[in-house]
Structure 1
Amino acid sequence: MRASLLSVLFCCSFIWIAYKTAAGIVSRKVLGIGTGNGYGIREIAPNANEFWTLDKNYITIDYRNYPNTRFVKAKVPPLTNIPYNYFDYVVCFQLIEHVEDTLTLLKEIKRVLKKDGELLISTPNKIRSLTRNPYHVQEYTRDEFKSLLQLFFLSVSGYGVLGNDNVELYYEKSKNSVNQILSFDILKLNQRLPRWLLRLPYDLFNRISRHLILIDNKELTMGISDRDYYLDEPNDNCYDFLFVTNDNS
């Protein structure tokens, strides 16, 4: 299995726990912002009467298997062609860190939610990031993320996504590999380059780093799955934050 594919599988493993958690919460009318590769549709759609999924890129998926699902192609924000006061739940995983205008995004989410609706939203923990990610506009600590959400919602509670010993071991190996690569960056270009210019070297060295880890730790890398992650209280050791918000005080 190629290192690039293993990288995707590893990253998706802890995203899956968010979708599986959401699947046990959502019902009725649900909006998913950021379709991505479509892996959330399989978890969310069966639990909704009506599921809208929105992304800037069209994805190839057999929607005949999900007759209650509607795909909307749009770049966010705003939430173009999405009705007011319509959804019981909005699911927005691993997207807000990519958005320039987060305030407008959250304002739009509140617009399309019913008065008693809930937002389920996740984002990476800035403290656990190994290096600057040029695809992320803004990353958050637990308190920063909660404070941002509290600008729009009365009630904000949540979880942290943590990993077992195998996940932690992989993380430490990744950290060491990244630090070795960054040791050659004597001009600190990783911090100084504009995001668009950093993307090419970031992708290249990220691929190299994961490939080297795979060569030396194939069993560890291939063995990690969503079963190696769990939810607990949000803290600095979490990989992701998963928050649930509403206006029910």
Structure 2
Amino acid sequence: MNFLHAFMQKLTPETPPATPNQQQDAANGDSDWRLSGVMDHFAPLIELQQRRQLISVQLDGHPQTFQTLVLDINFSQNLLIIDELFPTQPRPAQGQVLHFNHQRHGQVLHFAGTLLNQQSIGGSPCYLVALPDTLAYRQRRRHPRLALEHRIVPVRLQSPNRAHWFARVINLSASGIRLQINGDKTGELNRGSRLPSIDLTLGNNLPFQCEGRVRSFRFLRRPSRQTEISVEFVGLTPEKYSLLSQYVDRLLAMAVAA
């Protein structure tokens, strides 16, 4: 058997070692393949940069919405370089989280990144932001709902008779809210009843206040006696509507990424 094994090895041609040029070509091919995958992953950002399209930005803890442009994308250092924000005040601080939002053809792109540094180009500031791990447009419902029953989001509101009620949020959208209140409140409610005041706090201590109209309600005996109320927001300003929409989109995008 040893003789046969040695004989077969002689008959099998040896593979010559790769030359330095062949090794370099293989390394370049592997690098090109990885770069192609990265560029496919960040295609939405590349398109925004090439078309010089404005993208909306919100800062943690600030209700105002800004706009900016994608100036460059540094894949090797995982950096997104954006233009100065408009309006220019206040300027974001290093370490602050920026939330980006862009819509096209009924789809929404939402992602967040930490501001790592600020530089200046031609006297104008630009910002270096960490690239996100996930990035994709998703189909947008007219008013997507954010489920919050597993989070404690307290709400203060006034009943149609202006009694003070305390509730918690079941779900939230840019057009309305579903609330849970302890006890049986059905005797004080009617479809179309006006709620003079609804107060809640969005993420990062952003206060939100508006009026509402009762769309539906029901009393539940189990697991505890409580009333669920579906409320339509009334008289939202464009600023408040935008704030709610971006808050809901942001948390929905985070849930998808998780």
Considering fraction of residues, name the structure with more strand. 2
Q: Which has the larger radius of gyration?
A: 2
Q: Quick check: TM above 0.5?
A: no
**TM-score, length-scaled by structure 1:** 0.20
Higher helix share: 1
Taking structure 2 as the reference length, what is the TM-score of the superposition? 0.20
